[in-house]
């Protein structure tokens, strides 16, 4: 039976599988937005309401989020302001990146095994590492992923390789990636540098430089006067110790399971653990194969060694990251699969390799289905908290959770405005609104926090929410100050 129709409709199949594979999560009762996602959700809501145009993640001069905000705004117009709209919007952005990842593999071409582009793409779709992150609105991550895939396609597509307009576009997109989430640049730069070197057309390099310059100038003017609430130190000089190497390997393993929430590891099912270890082994094997091919002077595409360098750079820069988090490994999957594709193409018994890839995809489908159980918070408790605040006619709250405050505002559609303990925040207008209401209409304000924070449960002003949250209303200045809230007027910020 001929299967040529699979190649003909490959892009459509890829798009459908990207969405179908996420249905278990999308339809799960556990679906919930984390604090950072709700910030992007609120940014998109403000954009929908024409209140402002939020280019960057609130309170930052990095994390270019406008592409995500625009995409979510489109889905808001269909599904309303909701978590499903945000998830579908981000899934669409991720799917765009996956399609161009496939197109990149097709553009590279694998003569020994023409099935590699489709099969490797399917492995990517069903990789646990992106089970959750394929739908996360985290201010630039999925923007950087999608743009990286577009750039790699432009780099390897024969029709675009010598196109000076394409080189101009690549230069500008590199700056967009840098402003969105620079993590992807470590693996992308070797591919760009190789293409510039191989092209040997000075116009190509000049146009790319012009694109870079245009991007730099664009963001220079865009950022003028932009306040910065959060600007942590990211890079640090590495301490090259065995402990640090082990930490990278441990966190790489957790990342490839996809089963984590911020810095918290969630225990994964056995198949997911197997896929994580298998991915790490495949990367190690491919790197070792590269060394072997080099020593034996075995004929293989030079691009393979460039992708190997991309993988080494994507791992190597992690030595310089302070407070290394699981999410910092996100760029690794794409670059690693590009490298692995070359190794598979070089091996004998291609039918056996294709069968192994199909088995890998099959295991991935089981793993992704299990993510319907992925949960990091009690959603029913959060919804009950929002409903109780509305029932008690509480419109403004002092919130004991730095991420909880944003979740409450999003899930209440800003019927309830919240602020955290500090007198400065990502969105200062919220602090002003809460403090003003507390001063003028105390009955409509409350203190909200986590149930185990030890308030007097016998107080008639205290309401417990499913042993998870509490509401205390009315609340006094003394109580707020005892809980660490800074009620002084914030100093002006640049």
Q: Given this model, what pLDDT does residue 305 score?
A: 94
For residue 464, the 8-state DSSP code is: E
* Range scoring the smallest mean pLDDT among 239-243, 296-300, 338-342, 473-477: 239-243
Q: Given this model, what pLDDT does residue 494 score?
A: 44
| Last-in-domain residue among 348, 373, 398 | 373
The structural domain count of the chain equals 2
Residue that wins the pLDDT comparison between 204 and 23? 23
pLDDT in tens, 129-170: 999 999 999 989 999 999 999 999 999 988 766 677 889 999
> Are 360 and 412 contained in the same domain?
no
3-state secondary structure of 321: strand
Q: Given this model, what pLDDT does residue 227 score?
A: 66
Q: Given this model, what pLDDT does residue 186 score?
A: 94
| Last-in-domain residue among 330, 357, 373 | 373
> Are 356 and 394 contained in the same domain?
no
> Are 445 and 428 contained in the same domain?
yes
> Are 293 and 411 contained in the same domain?
no
- Domain range for 471: 379-482
Give mean pLDDT, residues 267-294: 94
> Are 305 and 429 contained in the same domain?
no
Q: Given this model, what pLDDT does residue 162 score?
A: 62
| Pairing outcome for strands 264-265 and 260-261 | antiparallel
> Are 34 and 138 contained in the same domain?
yes
Nearest Cα to 58, choosing from 492, 426, 456? 426
Q: What is the mean pLDDT of the chain?
A: 89
Give a yes or no: residue 491 inside a domain: no
> Are 367 and 407 contained in the same domain?
no
Q: Is the pLDDT of residue 46 over 90?
A: yes
> Are 327 and 390 contained in the same domain?
no
Give a yes or no: residue 59 inside a domain: yes
Q: Is the pLDDT of residue 199 over 70?
A: yes
Give a yes or no: residue 489 inside a domain: no
Give a yes or no: residue 166 inside a domain: yes
Which percentage of the chain shows pLDDT scores above 90? 67
Give a yes or no: residue 437 inside a domain: yes
Query: What is the distance, to the nearest Å, from the Cα of residue 28 to the centroid of all Cα atoms in its chain?
Result: 20
Give a yes or no: residue 321 inside a domain: yes
pLDDT in tens, 102-139: 999 999 988 888 999 999 999 999 999 999 999 999 98
Cα separation of 135 and 115, whole Å? 27
Give a yes or no: residue 100 inside a domain: yes
How does 277-314 read in b/e, with b if 16+ C-beta sit within 10 Å?
A: eebbebbeebbebbeebeeeeeebeebbbbbbbbbbbb
> Are 385 and 345 contained in the same domain?
no
Task: Assess contact for 9 and 102: CB atoms under 8 A.
Answer: no
Q: Given this model, what pLDDT does residue 231 score?
A: 55
Cα separation of 161 and 201, whole Å? 10
> Are 175 and 280 contained in the same domain?
yes
C-beta atoms surrounding 423 within 10 Å: 16
Cα separation of 230 and 425, whole Å? 9
> Are 200 and 230 contained in the same domain?
yes
Give a yes or no: residue 492 inside a domain: no
| Local confidence band at 44 (pLDDT 50, 70, 90 cut-offs) | very high
Q: Given this model, what pLDDT does residue 236 score?
A: 56
> For the chain, first and last CA: distance in Å?
67
| Last-in-domain residue among 352, 373, 394 | 373
Q: Is the pLDDT of residue 460 over 90?
A: no
Cα separation of 136 and 71, whole Å? 13
For 36-88, what is the HEC assignment?
A: HHHHHHHHHHHHHCCCCCCCECCCCCCCECHHHHHHHHHHHHHHCCCHHHHHH
> Are 259 and 387 contained in the same domain?
no
Q: In what side-by-side order are the strands of the sheet with 445-450?
A: 417-419, 396-399, 445-450, 469-472, 462-465
Q: Given this model, what pLDDT does residue 1 score?
A: 44
Q: Given this model, what pLDDT does residue 320 score?
A: 76
């Amino acid at each position: 039976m001929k299967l040529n129709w699979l190649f003909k409709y490959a892009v459509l199949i890829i798009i459908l599988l990207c969405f179908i594979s996420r249905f278990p999560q999308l339809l799960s009762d556990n679906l919930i937005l984390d604090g950072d996602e709700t910030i992007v959700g609120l940014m998109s809501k403000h954009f929908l309401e024409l209140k402002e145009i939020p280019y960057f993640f609130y309170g930052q001069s990095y994390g270019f989020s406008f592409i995500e905000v625009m995409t979510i705004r489109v889905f808001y117009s269909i599904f309303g302001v909701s978590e499903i709209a945000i998830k579908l919007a981000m899934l669409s952005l991720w799917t765009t990146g996956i399609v161009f990842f496939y197109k990149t593999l097709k553009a590279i071409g694998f003569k020994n095994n023409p099935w590699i582009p489709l099969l490797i793409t399917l492995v990517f779709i069903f990789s646990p590492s992106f089970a959750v992150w394929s739908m996360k609105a985290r201010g630039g991550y999925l923007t950087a992923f999608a743009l990286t895939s577009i750039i790699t396609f432009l780099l390897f597509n024969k029709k675009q390789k010598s196109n000076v307009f394409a080189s101009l576009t690549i230069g500008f997109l590199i700056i967009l990636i840098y402003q969105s989430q620079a993590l992807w640049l470590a693996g992308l730069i070797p591919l760009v540098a190789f293409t510039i070197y191989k092209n040997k057309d000075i116009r190509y390099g000049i146009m790319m430089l012009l694109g870079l310059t245009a991007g730099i100038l664009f963001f220079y003017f865009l950022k003028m006067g932009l306040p910065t609430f959060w600007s942590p130190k990211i890079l640090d000089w590495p301490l090259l110790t065995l402990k640090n190497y082990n930490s990278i390997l441990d966190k790489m393993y957790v990342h490839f399971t996809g089963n984590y929430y911020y810095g918290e590891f969630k225990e994964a099912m056995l198949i997911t653990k197997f896929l994580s270890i298998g991915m790490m082994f495949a990367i190690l094997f491919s790197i070792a194969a590269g060394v072997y091919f080099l020593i034996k002077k075995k004929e293989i595409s030079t691009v393979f060694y460039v992708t190997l360098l991309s993988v080494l750079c994507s791992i190597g820069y992690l030595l310089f990251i302070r407070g290394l988090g699981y999410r910092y490994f996100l760029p690794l999957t794409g670059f690693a699969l590009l490298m692995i594709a070359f190794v598979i193409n070089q091996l004998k018994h291609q039918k056996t390799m294709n069968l192994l890839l199909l088995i890998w995809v099959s295991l991935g489908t089981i793993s992704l289905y299990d993510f319907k159980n992925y949960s990091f918070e009690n959603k029913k408790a959060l919804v009950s908290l929002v409903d109780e605040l509305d029932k008690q006619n509480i419109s403004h709250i002092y919130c004991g959770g730095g991420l909880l405050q944003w979740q409450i505002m999003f899930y209440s559609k800003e019927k309830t405005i919240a602020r955290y303990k500090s007198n400065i925040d990502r969105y200062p207008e919220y602090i002003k609104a809460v403090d003003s209401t507390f001063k003028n209409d105390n009955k409509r304000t409350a203190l909200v926090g986590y149930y185990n924070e030890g308030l007097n449960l016998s107080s008639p002003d205290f309401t417990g929410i499913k042993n998870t949250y509490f509401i205390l209303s009315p609340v006094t200045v003394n109580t707020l100050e005892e809980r660490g809230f800074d009620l002084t007027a914030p100093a002006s910020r640049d």
